[in-house]
Amino acid sequence: MKIAISLTKMSLGGGTKSTLILGTYLASQGHDVTIVTERKGEWWSELSSYGLQGCCIPYPRWSSRVRRAELLAQYWNTQGFDQVIINVPLHKPSVYACHMLEDRVGVLFILRSDWRPWYELAHRDQAYWNCAVGVSPKVEKGLAAHCPGKPVFYIPNGVASPSDQELESRLGWEQPLRLIWVGRLVDNQKGIFRLPLILSRCQQKQIPVTLTIVGDGPDRAPLVRLFKKYGVYDQVTLVGPQGLSQIPALMRQHHILLFPSNIEGLPNVVLEAMANGCVPIASFLLDITTAAIEHDRTGILLEPTNISGFVDGIQFMRDPKAWRRMSAAGAEQMRLQFPLKKTGEQYETLLVQMQNGAYPVQRPYNQQPSRRAIPFHWSDHLPTLPEFAKNQARHLRHRMGHLMK
């Protein structure tokens, strides 16, 4: 099969990593795979190391979302793709473009977060996709509830297990305990403003810890200010975005993954931490983090706002026997329950079924080609701001939001 996998850009995040993993597996099975993006992103150079080909659509400067969707659909159709996999974003050209695909092209939607607007988007566009995947039991249930009668499946993210030699080389228990956080620095989703509070309480209780922050995002500056405000900045190292191959090694050099997140799908970073012997202390998110972490056996689960609970969890890990037990149990659980091969096989089975005629659709646009057949918003017809201008506007919105709190 000739398969396109669509992303907004190759940026730091679990969705991008899962896309690379899936693309690599499908290519290893003899399929012709292309990663198609709207912008290149920080991890664009990683494609070659994974043996994958990529195409960044050369949109005209200032083109509208409508025009971008038309160009993307034209590329998919003229290149003769059999299947298109869309990592569902909000109001992005790839979602609109699937309306303009030929009926013979299968569309697989993947939802990677338990977020109501994404379910509503899948519902709005359900006449145009063939089947959909939720990456956790919670997301699969949300999809099924919003799209009754449509084929919806649960396929968890897979994770690469380190070699025995790599796992044996991981950092042993010692003090200060080394904590790590990995991801995009966005507080409303990731709860990162809780990290300074957690460190401050550890300091008050004389629990020796350090924290490494991996990643970047719009809330980096206010996060740094909070670390300084609580007097714990000297315990923190911000290393910025890292390459895909560097993150597992970083996990093995830390004892605990702090994960006080608010919204997730099935967090890749949690799976990767456990696979590499880094014990998660994470938010209790039913059928999301609970699908990966067994409380008190492979990690600790708490309400996201329970700062004292996170501190107590860190205190508990000061017992070397407890940490070693959970570290080993987590690595074994990932090896048995979330192997990459199993995830790849499930996706391939679904794509083959679609290729053989399962879950067919007749897209309304193909009956009477018209922009009116596509749920464009009036703003989609306006010129799109350059990336730097969007970043400035985003920064201003965040700044105003913090000033008004």
Nearest to 138 by CA among 285, 40, 261, 343: 285
Task: Report residue 392 as tokens.
Answer: 């400035």
Is 109 a residue whose pLDDT tops 90? yes
Domain with 34 in it? 2-158+340-384
Average pLDDT over residues 49-76: 90
Domain tally, the chain: 2
Same domain, 222 and 286: yes
Question: Are residues 176 and 118 located together in one domain of the fold?
Answer: no
- Structure confidence at residue 248 (pLDDT): 93
Mean of the pLDDT values across residues 328-338?
95
Same domain for 199 and 75, yes or no, is: no
Q: Are 92 and 203 within one domain? A: no
Q: Of 202, 188, 186, which is closest to residue 235 (Cα–Cα)?
A: 202
Tokens (6 digits) for 244: 């895909």
**Judgement on whether residues 234 and 349 belong to the same structural domain of the protein:** no
Of the residues 315, 337, 359, which one is the last residue of a structural domain? Answer: 337
Is 325 within the bounds of a domain?
yes
Q: Which of 13-17, 26-30, 148-152, 308-312 has the lowest mean pLDDT?
A: 13-17
Going by pLDDT thresholds of 50, 70 and 90, the confidence category of residue 179 is very high
pLDDT at position 404 over 50: no
Cα–Cα distance for residue pair 38/72, rounded to 1 Å: 9
Tokens of 113: 């977060």
Where residue 389 falls among pLDDT bands split at 50, 70, 90?
very low
Q: Same domain, yes or no, for 211 and 246?
A: yes
pTM of the model: 0.89
Least confident of 40-54, 316-330, 388-402: 388-402
Query: Is residue 254 included in any domain, yes or no?
Result: yes
CA pair distance 229, 232, nearest whole angstrom: 8
Question: What percent of the chain clears pLDDT 90, i.e. is strictly above it?
Answer: 73
The region, left, alpha or beta by phi > 0 then psi within -120 to 50, assigned to residue 240 is left
Q: Exposure pattern of 28-62 as b/e (b: 16+ CB <10 Å)?
A: eeebebbbbbbeebbbbebbeebebebeebebeee
**How many whole angstroms separate alpha carbon 49 and alpha carbon 52?**
8
pLDDT band at 97 (very low <50, low <70, confident <90, very high): very high
309 located within any domain: yes
User: pLDDT tens, 205-254?
Assistant: 999 999 999 999 999 999 999 999 999 999 999 999 888 888 999 999 99
What are the tens digits of pLDDT across the range 5-57? 998 888 877 888 888 999 999 999 999 999 999 888 888 888 988 889 999 99
Q: What is residue 321's predicted lDDT score, i.e. its pLDDT?
A: 97
DSSP state string for 35-86: EEEEE--TTTTHHHHTT-EEEE--PPTT-BHHHHHHHHHHHHHHTT-SEEEE
pLDDT band at 367 (very low <50, low <70, confident <90, very high): confident
Average pLDDT of the chain to the nearest whole number: 91
SS3 content of the chain, % helix, strand, coil (to 5): 45, 20, 35
**65 shares its domain with 140:** yes
190 and 75 co-located in one domain: no
pLDDT score of 241: 87
Does 180 have pLDDT greater than 90? yes
Is residue 79 domain-shared with residue 179, that is, in the same domain? no
Same domain (yes/no): 50, 171: no
| Predicted local distance difference test score (pLDDT) of residue 257 | 98
Residues 142 and 261 in one domain: no
Query: Both 176 and 199 in a single domain?
Result: yes
- Residue indicated by tokens 């195409």: 55
Residue 401, in any domain of the structure: no
Q: What residue type is assigned to position 255 of the chain?
A: H
Whether 72 shows a pLDDT value over 60: the answer reads: yes
**pLDDT mean over 122-146:** 95
Instruction: Report which of residues 17 and 194 the model is more confident about.
Output: 194
43 found inside a domain: yes
pLDDT digits (tens, 9 = 90+) for 250-305: 999 999 999 999 999 999 999 999 999 999 999 999 999 999 999 999 999 999 99
How confident is the model at residue 385, as a pLDDT? 64
| CA 134 – CA 340 distance, rounded (Å) | 16
CATH of residue 90's domain is 3.40.50.2000
Dist. CA 4–CA 342, nearest whole Å: 21
The residue ranking higher by pLDDT, 131 or 395, is 131
